Amino acid sequence: MTIQASQLAAPRKESPALDVTPELLASLRLADDAAYDELVELLGGRLYAVALRMLGRAEEAQDAVQEGFLNAFRSFDRFDGRSSLSTWLHRIVMNACLMRLRTRRRRPEQQMDDLLPRFLPDGHQTIPSEPWRPIDRSGIEHAEMRQLVRSKIDELPEVFREILLLRDVEELDTEQTAELLGVTISVVKTRLHRARQALRSMLDPHFSEASA
């Protein structure tokens, strides 16, 4: 089965009615091809938006969604109904995105300590962060800002990049992030704090008032 780009249109407005009905779920369990198509039409746009935020590349996001749907279609017998089907699919697509992020050919990772701000013995930063200048969020400057932020996120070491994407881009809560990555809640909190610090340090030269 191949998912067409047209099936990954912008997601409809979030609403409780957007989830899978019991009738559709029953048809999916019977491997009904029409039910598969209906599921893609129903949730494909939403899941594509998730994958695009995670991966930042349209073609790769489409591949991740297709991979996620195929994995789901092959394993409906493992869907136990404890969560909604859309939540279950979301997790599968998120895992597909994480695998793609981990297998990308990347230059050697920077050491996290090299990206973090330096602190004095009294706890203050050696180079204090400055307020950021106002940014036009309606036009080209906003698009350039988004592209720059994404490029800096991609410079973070893998374990920190994953947590920042899940918590601050996908807005998963701490418990969901810990479960998805197979780490403890305290690890998520610690890595997220360090990732945010590093990202702020990398962006300060571009957005501080002094750079205007």
Domain segments of the chain as ranges: 5-103, 112-211
Fold of 112-211: Arc Repressor Mutant, subunit A (1.10.10)
141-171 pLDDT, tens digit each: 567 788 888 888 888 888 899 999 999 999 9
Q: What one-character-per-residue DSSP string does 127-179 give? A: SPPPPBPP--TTSHHHHHHHHHHHHHHHTS-HHHHHHHIIIIIS---HHHHHH
8-49 pLDDT, tens digit each: 554 444 434 456 788 888 888 888 888 888 889 889 999 999
Taken in order 75, 79, 83, 85, the sign of the CA dihedral is positive
60-88 pLDDT, tens digit each: 999 999 999 998 888 887 887 777 888 88
Q: Given a cut of 90, is residue 187 above it in pLDDT?
A: yes
| CATH of the structural domain 5-103, one choice from 3.40.50.1820, 3.30.70.600, 1.10.1740.10, 1.10.274.10 | 1.10.1740.10
pLDDT value at residue 190? 95
107-147 pLDDT, tens digit each: 566 777 776 767 656 565 666 666 666 666 665 556 778 88
